[in-house]
Amino acid sequence: MQYVPFGNHGFDVSRLGFGCMRLPTRKNGEKTVIDREAAIAMIRRGIDGGISYIDTAYPYHDGESEIVTGLALKDGYRERVTLTTKLPVWAVNEEKDMNRLLDEQLKKLDVPYVDFYLLHALDKDRIAKMRAFHYQDFFRQAIADGRVKHAGFSFHDDRQTFLDILGDWDQWGMAQIQYNYLDDQDQATEAGLIEAGKRGVPIVVMEPLRGGALANPPLNVKQMMDAHPSHRSAVEWAFAYIANYPQVATILSGMSTEEQLTDNLQVFDRVTVGGLTADEQAFTAQLKQAYLSRMPVKCTGCRYCQPCPQNVHIPTIFEAYNQAKMFDQPDRFTRRYNDLQKKNQDASQCVQCGACESACPQHLPIIDWLQKIGREAP
């Protein structure tokens, strides 16, 4: 296992972090719950294998993740890790809710404090809400009374919003962002990641495998990887790309099986900061282009076509279709399209009025694409 300093906090952390959002599950009647015995064994085996960073959150596994994480950290395991959980900012309706929720989470984890407490999934609207509730005062109090060691935030929005949040407070202890070789120009972006490093805010990366999609590449991408002289697996290419950045402290992996844990531990014995050659960095850019070339609809998601007079969710339809084609996973499209059909927001609602096409800056034949997608839909 590779270790790096966690910013300027005075301790090192494993490059591989255990994300507790996708723990092994089992059926309990009609309900899906965490397989507690398997999950606890996996988390402890990960720690024994060198993992020193554990990440959970209030809503993971319908609120059960924090409880199981706390159970896994009994018997001396808590003292061996950096523990992070997150404030569900959507559940904050008045200032006192922040203290109430933190206390509830500490009780679920059965710990007196967490090392990092994050504002969860910040975007432009949520940071405005948290400013109104004086989140900085809350963090100062929680740090002063010992319930929290460091404050941070996780993020889902655009680069400018990320930079605005970074600049909102000079006491951020870390930032957690979605990042991988496909998302280097989305959400926080590479530029945002680098800027955080300049400001001394260490980065924790989530979704390094795009929810597992990058672990199972389509045939043409796999053939590229197989032909490369490094002979890295798809999983290792994804992790090595992120580990190359010195600004990144820990890379979270939401492991669901013992096999995934074993593979991840082996990969993180090899990947290092600055470990990619110039040729290998260029190759990851080629992998990205190979994925992007599989996207049939060149929609940028600008949403100029919205709102549709018939309430057709055009960007969502195109995104779902593109994602399914990019990763050769038609089931992904079926699930998302079924949700749109239930809400009468699918392509069948289109009356071909043309309002979307006149507004599209890419001049896409939107009506033709909606008809094609509608014919392919389940």
SS3 273: coil
The residue whose two tokens read 């064994």 is: 41
Q: What Å distances lie between residue 366 and 296, 299, 306, 335, 358, CA to CA?
A: 12, 9, 12, 22, 10
Q: What Å distances lie between residue 323 and 22, 33, 284, 332, 353, CA to CA?
A: 21, 28, 19, 8, 27
**Cis amide leading into 309 (omega within 30):** no
Q: Residue 378 has what pLDDT?
A: 81
The residue whose two tokens read 């798809």 is: 234
pLDDT tens by residue, 141-159:
999 999 999 999 999 999 9
Q: CA 29, CA 31: separation in Å to the nearest integer?
A: 5
Please list the residues that pair with 48 across neighbouring strands.
none
Q: Where are the domains of the chain?
A: 3-287, 314-376
Q: CA 15, CA 242: separation in Å to the nearest integer?
A: 10
Q: Could you tell me the pTM of the whole model?
A: 0.92
For 13-55, what is the HEC assignment? EECEEEECCCCCEEEECCEEEECHHHHHHHHHHHHHCCCCEEE
DSSP 133: T
pLDDT tens by residue, 194-213:
999 999 999 999 999 998 99
Residues 265, 220: contact at Cβ < 8 Å? no
DSSP 313: -
β-pairing verdict for 12-14 and 3-5: antiparallel
Q: Where are the alpha helices (DSSP H) in the chain?
A: 36-48, 65-72, 96-109, 124-132, 135-144, 159-166, 189-198, 219-227, 234-243, 258-267, 278-292, 314-327, 330-342, 355-359, 366-376
pLDDT in tens, the chain (378 residues): 999 999 999 999 999 999 999 999 999 999 999 999 999 999 999 999 999 999 999 999 999 999 999 999 999 999 999 999 999 999 999 999 999 999 999 999 999 999 999 999 999 999 999 999 999 999 999 999 999 999 999 999 999 999 999 999 999 999 999 999 999 999 999 999 999 999 999 999 999 999 899 999 999 999 999 999 999 999 999 999 999 999 999 999 999 999 999 999 999 999 999 999 999 999 999 999 999 999 999 998 889 999 999 999 999 999 999 999 999 999 989 999 999 999 999 999 999 999 999 999 999 999 999 999 999 988
- Cα Rg of the chain (Å, integer): 22
Q: What Å distances lie between residue 155 and 7, 175, 178, 194, 203, CA to CA?
A: 18, 8, 7, 15, 11
3-287: what fold? TIM Barrel (3.20.20)
